[in-house]
Amino acid sequence: MFKRILKWAMWSGLGLLILTAFAALIWKDTTLYLWQSVKGQVSLLLGGQAISELEQDARVPQTLKQQFKRVAEVKQFAEQKLGLKPTRNYEKYLDLKRNYLVMVLTASPPLKMESYTWWFPVVGTVPYKGYYDKEMGLQDQKKLQAQGFETHFRPSPAYSTLGWFQDPLLSTMFQYGEFYLVSTVIHESVHASLWIPGDVSFNENLASFVGYHGALAYYAQKYGTGSKQYQEGLAIQSNQKVFAEFIGNLHDQLKALYEGDAFSANKLERKTQLIEEMKTRFKLETVKKFKGAGYAGFEQREWNNAMIMAYRHYDQEQGLFEHLLKEQKGSIAQLMAYLTAQGPAGIQKLRADYKKAKPQTKTP
């Protein structure tokens, strides 16, 4: 097992090293970023321990062993019932000794509702960068801010190598509760099953959609729809929809402002006012719609275009997938097979057709 991991690490490290050397001739910053990515990825491939060994170790807490069993069950369910690609992910466990896997940086202009983008091999154009090296991420954040961009820097507890390597089960995946763990295992498995290069919005929205719906399907099969687990999952999904609707409303109002005829200075002043108004609205109205303490205190964080776009990459196309799931008679497996068969051009057509058919609503 170790030799096989070492072999993958050597090949992946060699490939990334060649790419890094090539980039060094052209882009210094890209070189440094790719190098920290190489080191971070190799450390994941070489670190950790086989779960099969940990399950036999009397020193490992029983609660952790139960989590291992849960992840294996969910992965099997996703492959057999949801039509996701079989992989050898999550056969190894790695305790990161911190509360994040990578720190994710996004950026946007102050008067445009769009994301700053980067391009990388395999994944294509992306609206974010992930940093194993937190200090490097903070430095790059300052550089973008100095260029006039708004930024958002947040922790991410999980990731997918899109099926290229065996992704380990990470300690950070346990920190937000069981439903998050279940939906995340499915979410990342979607990335390993279908990834459209350069189309992060589609990829992340699809993974989020299948992650939530797949988790509910897993709970329905294991415990029944009347179970506590299933009902708690429904509440989390309901909260996510309420939050996504609010973020979408905030996005649309600011976008309308930016595209208006006012002078930039007036737009900036009105932007500040609008954000404060929406924070008050969130605290007094939206919070009451949540079941439990979901998103409590969100109005106290910094709101800017980069933050809004970071959330939009995960939730702005949920209606499309709801529509397509109904067309596939509620079968996630059929939905995945259908989307995989479409290819990039077919997916773009599906989006365009849905947008044309979707009733237009006015932002209040």
Closest C-alpha to 311, from 254, 355, 272: 254
Q: Comparing 55 with 313, which gets the higher pLDDT?
A: 55
- Check: CB of residue 181 under 8 Å from CB of residue 287: no
pLDDT given at position 360: 55
- Check: CB of residue 31 under 8 Å from CB of residue 24: yes
Q: Using CB atoms within 10 A of its CB, is residue 215 exposed (0-12), middle (13-18) or buried (19+)? A: buried
The one-letter amino acid at 287? V
Q: Is the pLDDT reported for residue 331 higher than 70?
A: yes
Residue 28 — very low, low, confident or very high, per pLDDT cuts 50/70/90? low
Residue 306 — very low, low, confident or very high, per pLDDT cuts 50/70/90? very high
Q: What's the rounded mean pLDDT across residues 270-292?
A: 95
For residue range 73-112, list pLDDT tens digits in order. Answer: 999 999 999 999 999 999 999 999 999 999 999 999 999 9
How far is residue 25's CA from residue 21's CA, in Å, rounded to a whole number?
Answer: 7
pLDDT given at position 166: 87
Q: What's the rounded mean pLDDT across residues 258-269?
A: 95
Q: What's the rounded mean pLDDT across residues 180-186?
A: 96
Return the SS3 of 244: helix
Q: What's the rounded mean pLDDT across residues 226-238?
A: 95
The one-letter amino acid at 196? I
- Check: CB of residue 216 under 8 Å from CB of residue 180: no
pLDDT given at position 316: 87
How far is residue 56's CA from residue 270's CA, in Å, rounded to a whole number?
Answer: 61
Counting DSSP H helices and E strands in the chain, the numbers are 12, 8
Residue 359 — very low, low, confident or very high, per pLDDT cuts 50/70/90? low
pLDDT given at position 31: 79
Backbone angles phi, psi at 353, to 5 degrees: -65, -40
Q: What is the average pLDDT score of the chain?
A: 89
Q: Is the pLDDT reported for residue 326 higher than 70?
A: yes
Q: How many CA atoms lie within 13 A of 161 on its CB side?
A: 21
Q: What's the rounded mean pLDDT across residues 153-163?
A: 89
pLDDT given at position 15: 53
Return the SS3 of 296: coil
- Check: CB of residue 133 under 8 Å from CB of residue 40: yes
Residues above pLDDT 90, as percent of the chain: 74
pLDDT given at position 235: 94
Q: Give pTM, 2 decimals.
A: 0.85
For residue range 199-219, list pLDDT tens digits in order. Answer: 888 999 999 999 999 999 999
For residue range 112-129, list pLDDT tens digits in order. Answer: 999 999 987 767 788 999
For residue range 34-78, list pLDDT tens digits in order. Answer: 889 889 888 888 889 999 999 999 999 999 999 999 999 999 999
Residue 162 — very low, low, confident or very high, per pLDDT cuts 50/70/90? confident
What six digits make up the tokens of 183?
Answer: 């939906």
Backbone angles phi, psi at 334, to 5 degrees: -65, -35
